[in-house]
Structure formats: C-alpha cells, structure tokens
Amino acid sequence: MKKSDFIKKIALVGTGFVGMSFAYALLNSGECDQLVLIDINKEKAYGEAMDLNHGLPFAKRNMLIFAGEYSDCADADIVVIAAGVNQKPGEDRISLLNRNYSVFKSIIDPIVESGFEGIFLVATNPVDIMTKITLELSKFDSSRVIGSGTTLDTARLRYLLGNYFSIDPRNVHAYVIGEHGDSEIVPWSQAYITTKSIFDVIDNSNGKFKFEDLNVIGKNVTGAAQEIIKAKSATYYGIGMALVRIVRTIFGDEKSALTASVMLDGHYGISGVYAGLPAIIGRNGVEDIIVLDLKENERKRFIDSCHFLEKTAKEIGF
C-alpha cells in the first residue's frame, strides 16, 4: 500500500444503496480515517457526506468524510467500486454486463491516472466479471484487484446453517464458491459445525437433521438475492457489511480467509478467471488462495462455474 499505516484512506465510487450501506457500516466500525465519496451525481455525493458527518459525534472514532473527485484517489489505500445500474427483479447478474461495462470504462482510467497504487475492491454485479474488467482496465497485479465474490453468500449459508443446527453462525465453517450467482456451489464436504463434519453431525442426530435439508439450504442461499429484490427492490445491507469485513482484514493485515472473488492461476486447472474461493487477504491484498479438497462432483461443478464465467468474459472481449 502507498499510504502510512497511521492514515487509512478509502475512496468509494458510487453512492447508491450498496455504496452508502458500506459507508454507513464503515462509519460505525471506525475502520478508516478518511472516506471520500465519488459519484457522477456530485450533489448526491455532497449530501451523503454531509449526512454521514452529522453522525460523527456518535461514532466510535473521528473520520474525515467528504465528497470528492477521482483525483482524490491518488493517496487512497483502497478504492471500493459500488457504481453501476441496479439489478431488476428477475434479472440475472450476467445480463447486467452490457449496462455496467460502459460505467466501468469511465471510472477506472481516471483513478489509475490519479496515481492510485492501492487495492481495488469491487462490489458491482456481476462481481466476478466486473472484477476481471477492473483488472484488465487498470493493468494492476491481480493480488491488488479483489471482488466481494461469495463473501455474502458464505455469510448467508452460515446464517441458515446456524438456524438449522441451533448454533451461533460464527461457529459454522462452510463456504460458497464459484460464481457469485446461479452457478455457485456449496461444497458440503468442507462444511463443519464447530470441529465436526456436517455429515457426522447429521449421521449422529437420530433423525433430527436430514441430508436432503442441506439441498434446500443451498438453494435458499443461491436464491436469497432474488427473494430480497422481489421484496424490497435491491440488496445492500449485507454486502455493505461484507465489504467492511474485507476492508478490516486488509487494514489489519489479518491474513484472514475470506471467500472473495480472486484470480485463479492454475488452481483446479483454471487460469485467467475470477471466482469466489477462500483466499488469504492481508495488507497487500490477496496473499494466497486456499485449494479445497473437493469431492469429484464438487470439483466438476466448481470447474463448470468457472467455465461459465470464462465464456461470459470472452463474449465481451475479456
């Protein structure tokens, strides 16, 4: 990263529901010292900055929050991109590509031209493709271009499993991997309740828990976004908090394993594709990608998901 550890600066591009949910969660968590809001609608960015500033007397720590320009990214540690058009009810994430690609073309170039040398964190859907587009347009090393990936999907999974098994979701260790979308998968072979395999927990439950219920939970995870969109037009609180979690592991150099969208380089025989996988993330971005010991059917489904993303990227020239 470019800046001193003593001043942590984030530039947020896009002050819509997702961007401002992130900004509000960030204010409450106190994860940075400076936050600049950038939006094509400059008046909205100004208003959002003013509104956040009025909450500073109640925040954990002081922050400098202001509306700015792309030039303000020059000394930022992280640029979070939440700009783009909203997903419509019934619209899959991939169909958003043509509408969001032109938006990104107008964003990445001026950020790079500002002298920005930090980490890109992308939230715009379809996030795996948009993260790859960010990589190609910025020419950054892939370790410094990260997507929110399946971090939120993984949180949804752990929440549902926590409810099902009546245990704190923080004691559930399970992942959603692959595309952040319809082809994502839950590798149940890697799921644990505390230290016990989820299969062992079910086997020893005397019929209280059932294997077929896992399939229902998996489908509910994948369909959660569309259900929320149908009910309230968009999803934003969960992803806002997921972005703060990624920011925390970067600034804290935690080297935490998060299911972010990262560039595969020979993993599972796949290269040049961004997909959700557990990755070790620290101060300099992605430090390592964890290769899971998947069952054959899980491995095939994950590879199929990556091939889908690869095909989609090629269709738009990436």
The DSSP code sequence of 66-101 is EE--GGGGTT-SEEEE--SPPPPTT--GGGGHHHHH
Report which secondary-structure segment, H or E, holds 147. Answer: strand 145-147
Write the DSSP symbol of residue 187: -
Take residue 125 and report the two structure tokens written for it. Answer: 């859907």
Annotated catalytic residue: which of 54, 173, 180, 307?
A: 180
Quote the distance between the C-alpha of residue 176 and its chain's center. Answer: 12
Take residue 88 and report the two structure tokens written for it. Answer: 């419509």
| Closest listed residue to residue 135, CA positions, set 112, 110, 114, 115 | 112
Bridge partners (DSSP) listed for residue 256: 281
| Closest listed residue to residue 177, CA positions, set 157, 207, 203, 197 | 157
Residue length of the chain: 318
Question: Does the annotation mark 180 as catalytic?
Answer: yes
Take residue 212 and report the two structure tokens written for it. Answer: 């077929």
Measure Cα distances from 87 to 77, 94, 158 in Å: 29, 10, 25
Q: Give the Cα separation of 159 and 213 in Å (integer).
A: 15
Q: Give the Cα separation of 10 and 35 in Å (integer).
A: 5
Active site residues: 180
